[in-house]
Amino acid sequence: MCGCSTHQTENAGQTTMPKDGSLTLRVEDMTCGHCAGTIKKAVEAALPGTQVDAEPASRLVSIRGTADLAAVKAIVTEAGYTPSEAA
């Protein structure tokens, strides 16, 4: 996790996965541009061909090019963040 000192430790449960081969995660502890960049870089490096849009203001991460929820959650968790339900 980045050292910006604004992270929260809230955890929730699920993620939503559209039928189009993409998914959206809520990442409450993604609070700044550095956090967003870290998540984007981690997912795109681990899953070549994916496109990640991480928005700190909404705390939503949209991933296109994969529907492998378990892999994406593991990558985001390994990067130091907590993926949860996207409303």
Residue-wise pLDDT tens digits, 5-58: 444 443 333 334 444 578 999 999 999 999 999 999 999 999 999 999 999 999
pLDDT at res. 86: 76
| pTM listed for this prediction | 0.76
Mean pLDDT over 59-71 rounds to 93
**CA dihedral angle for residue 67, residue 73, residue 74, residue 80, rounded to 10 degrees:** 140
| CA separation for the pair 23, 7 (Å, rounded) | 23
- Who contacts 13 (Cβ-Cβ below 8 Å, separation ≥6)? 84, 85
- For domain 33-84, is the CATH number 3.20.20.80? no
Q: Which helix (H) or strand (E) holds 61?
A: strand 60-64
**CA dihedral angle for residue 28, residue 56, residue 81, residue 54, rounded to 10 degrees:** 120
Give residue 64's pLDDT band: very low, low, confident or very high (50, 70, 90): very high
Q: Which amino acid is at 30?
A: M
Give residue 73's pLDDT band: very low, low, confident or very high (50, 70, 90): very high
> Burial of 9 by CB count in 10 Å (0-12 exposed, 13-18 middle, 19+ buried)?
exposed
Give residue 3's pLDDT band: very low, low, confident or very high (50, 70, 90): low
